[in-house]
A and B are shown apart, each in its own frame.
Chain A
């Protein structure tokens, strides 16, 4: 019996080895070198996934012999996967990377410099929104082609506004009105809040505030990105706005895990949310309206908002692969495909010509009510966050500053000064 068992064990181990050998099927990663097959890592789900697959099939049909292999990687995880792959020389031809990573991604030697490519008239580089172009360009080098654009605006619950006897926000509204509306919409007895803010201290916390800072006429860093510029009257104003709502009026729901606020709004518990177009389809249960960001009167900054574009980045796997990847990307981001993608998914148009095309905005709004405001709001994007490699560290400092004010742990002026000192030392220490 012992030898039988031994034989069984040996057989099992042999099976395992055979399976391993059989597992040698499918390579998937691009770099066959001939340009016939390009690999692309993207994080499209749902409607985006369907439309992307559709476009890929159309491209393959129009270019017989060329295969585009897509691999789904959740966008949050793409950086880790790309960095590991780059170390091992198994990087894809194209990857979808967050714009906030651009200043650091630009340092990867395998990233292709697209400056000459996008300068070609057929590409019409200036057709992309300025926020996108700013994020795709690092130190004068274009390292990506815009894949996505968005911006922040205010989504509000029409029913709650009516119940509170408030007029819906007008396009010229101010932060004082936002604050007053939030206060009027807050009803502790039924746990209803006027607005919400996310407080994990991550970039999500920071970029919402940066929009206010810009609206108050302030800047994050000075023009040469060598010193903090947010510890200014504008910085104080913007922080005070948030503090009044969070600490004084208690009209702000604080979401520590960045997960509940959207569902809360959809459950009719929040009056107004500062969020982006991606959330519009997450509110099926409420009657919502969209309005541009409020302004601080007298600053001249108007209803400026902030945008978070993402990039398609090309990696160098040989000249043939690069040129095949460039060809595909330029086709994918051409006006015709950009328009098709936007219409099918509700994502904002990455090109200005598409946004101003006749009937486009109306068609978009018919499919996703409220998105027209987000489209026109793209015109309110005047600048981007500092495109420097140390921005992530600066963001962490800013996040701590904002959260400590929101939780009532520090006064805005002290928090600003402390954060500015830290940011200055970060900037002094880093090279770029």
Chain B
């Protein structure tokens, strides 16, 4: 191929160089053939978003069609402004952000510590404790929500007012550490080669230092993943906030968006505009997290493993 084409081509990934270069070239696309797989797959994945976006920028009379027509005749970008004005969304956004960010940080801290201990340390009761933690995932929320509500109320009255019913803390504290986080990080830590940690211990490092200076840097992809997933879970959480929040001041974004959904009629255009705006921070968090999806140091090979 001419140098002009090569310059335009996407950089050939390292894994395909070398060997591929030695094979005789039949025909080459100006882009990676994986795009041919990813583009249709992505279309299937984001198809509902087309519908959401179109609904958010059309008039309500065009939104009330079935089958949905994805080519509106009249565009209404003011839906976004109208949605923001319909309820104090600035407040909802702030509440959601505070809850989500605090939840992510506390999860990273607590679940990394616990996950590491479950993965590497031997201590009496380790197995039982891990099973107990996993068990908390196995009973549906519809049944546990009333006891959880009562416990939260008790905490608010007896321990920490800010974590009781009707306060933002009640959205953070029950989720400050999740069984998902502990389970996920335990699995991930177990895949790391133990040699680095053992070497550091022999050199006299404390277990905490090993975790902080060796294991966590190697776990960037997993931590980024956990952060993104925890953020998403917290941002989209609806049922628990519905149960514990008692005033519009503490409502989070999903509760705020629900104000567009009446019992008999829903304002679809405003709801979709609200949903799209709510989506933006989640996508932003994920885009940031993707920067950590790099091959970790461990993957670059340990001689003689």
Contact = CB atoms under 8 A, between A and B. Distances in A.
Nearest to A266: B64
B172 interface: yes
Interface stretch (A105-113, A155-163, A278-286): A278-286
Nearest to B270: A46
A88 B242 contact: no
Interface in B230-270: 242-243, 245-251, 255, 258-267
Interface string A241-279: 000000000000000000010111011010000001011
Interface string A40-80: 00011110110000000000000000000111111111001
B168 to A, nearest CB: 4
Nearest to B163: A20
Nearest to B210: A2
Interface stretch (A5-13, A128-136, A173-181, A362-370): A5-13
Interface in A24-47: 24-29, 39, 43-46
Contacts of A46: 262, 265, 267
A72 B106 CA distance: 30
A20 B247 contact: no
Contacts of B259: 45, 49, 72
Contacts of A9: 109
A83 B149 CA distance: 11
Given A28-B246, A263-B64, A2 B213 contact: yes
Contact of A2 (B109, B146, B209): B209
A140 interface: no
B166 interface: yes
Nearest to B243: A84
A278 B264 contact: yes
Given A13-B106, A264-B66, A281-B265, A5 B212 contact: yes
B150 interface: yes
B264 to A, nearest CB: 4
Contacts of B264: 276, 278-279
A11 B184 CA distance: 25
A81 B242 contact: yes
B173 A20 contact: yes
A429 interface: no
Given A21-B162, A26-B250, A74-B261, 4 more contacts: A1-B213, A73-B242, A77-B258, A87-B149
23 contacts: A5-B213, A12-B105, A13-B105, A13-B109, A19-B172, A23-B167, A24-B169, A26-B250, A43-B263, A45-B259, A46-B267, A71-B246, A72-B248, A81-B242, A87-B146, A88-B150, A89-B153, A90-B166, A90-B246, A263-B64, A263-B65, A267-B65, A282-B265
Interface of B: 60-61, 64-68, 98, 102, 105-106, 109, 145-146, 149-150, 153, 160-163, 165-169, 172-173, 208-209, 212-213, 242-243, 245-251, 255, 258-267
Interface of A: 1-2, 5-6, 9, 12-13, 16, 19-29, 39, 43-46, 48-49, 69-77, 80-81, 83-84, 87-90, 92, 260, 262-264, 266-267, 269, 276, 278-279, 281-285
